[in-house]
Structures are given as structure tokens and as C-alpha cells.
Amino acid sequence: MKKKQILNIFFVLMVSFSCAAQSVPLNAKEILTSNDWKIDGFGAETVYKIKFTDTAIIVHLNGELIGERKYYFSTTLNDCSPNGFNENNVGSSIGGKYLISEKSCIELVNVSENELKFKSVYGGNPNNITTASPF
């Protein structure tokens, strides 16, 4: 009986730890599109703002539009390649760890109501993790 209780406690702890370790929730798209995001780490005079719509990532620098790209979510790293973008997938997926666009692929590291962390798989420096806060 005692072994069974210990196994049950161990199982509950393992499930709790695995749930806590999830940093990209299933409703990531809903969270991303519910806010505008300000890239952290720049001075007060430089403001990068990112807006996610259902189909596009829109970037502003100090209030001026500097870029807009169609994107979609993917659960697989296979789509993260220069030829992996499939425009038919734009707007069709609601979640995944990767944001695929025509010229880049971003891996989501953490998505929450209060913080966004991501890094480039290709199309940028894969060693830098970018942090953003709701704007």
C-alpha cells in the first residue's frame, strides 16, 4: 500500500513538473494577437512594437511601419527552412512552437499574458533570445 501511495505522489509530481515546464501554451496565437508587444532592451527613444494578426506579423519602429510578413504556426522544425514556407497554411493554424514566414522562422521560447520570448531559427541570430512585453 505504501509503495502505491509513493508511486501516486511521484506520478502527480511528474505531471505537475511537465505542465509547469510548458512554455508555449496551446492558445499561443490567442495570447499573441490579444496584445501589441514592445521589444525589451532598447532605450526610451527606440521603440520596436510587434502586432500579431491572424495572418501577419507587423513591426513598427518609433511608430513607423518597417515590415509586415504573412506567417503561420507550425509544430515541426521541418517547416523552418528557406523553402519551407507554404502560403496555403497562413491563418489555418492556431498553435505551435514555430512561426513560419517567407523569409524567417521564429521559435517561441515562452508565451504568456505578461511575456513573449523568441529566437530565430533562420533569418537572424539563433543565439539571441528576444524578450517582449505587452504594450
Judge whether 37 and 106 are in contact, CB under 8 Å. no
Residue 18 within a domain? no
Residue 15 within a domain? no
Range of the domain at 72: 23-134
Residue 116 within a domain? yes
CATH number (domain holding residue 45): 2.40.128
pLDDT band per the 50, 70, 90 thresholds, residue 83: confident
Nearest of 74, 106, 104 to residue 89 by alpha carbon: 74
Residue 74 within a domain? yes
Residue 5 within a domain? no
Bridge partners (DSSP) listed for residue 129: 119
Residue 7 within a domain? no
Average the pLDDT over 62-88 and give the result. Answer: 90
pLDDT tens track for 13-29: 333 333 344 489 999 99
The model's pTM is 0.78
Report the percentage of the chain scoring pLDDT > 70: 84
Q: Say which residues have a Cβ less than 8 Å from residue 56's Cβ, sequence separation at least 6.
A: 68, 69, 70, 71
Residue 127 within a domain? yes
Domain count across the chain? 1
| Whole-number Å distance between alpha carbons of 113 and 16 | 20
pLDDT band per the 50, 70, 90 thresholds, residue 87: very high
Query: Is residue 64 helix, strand or coil?
Result: strand
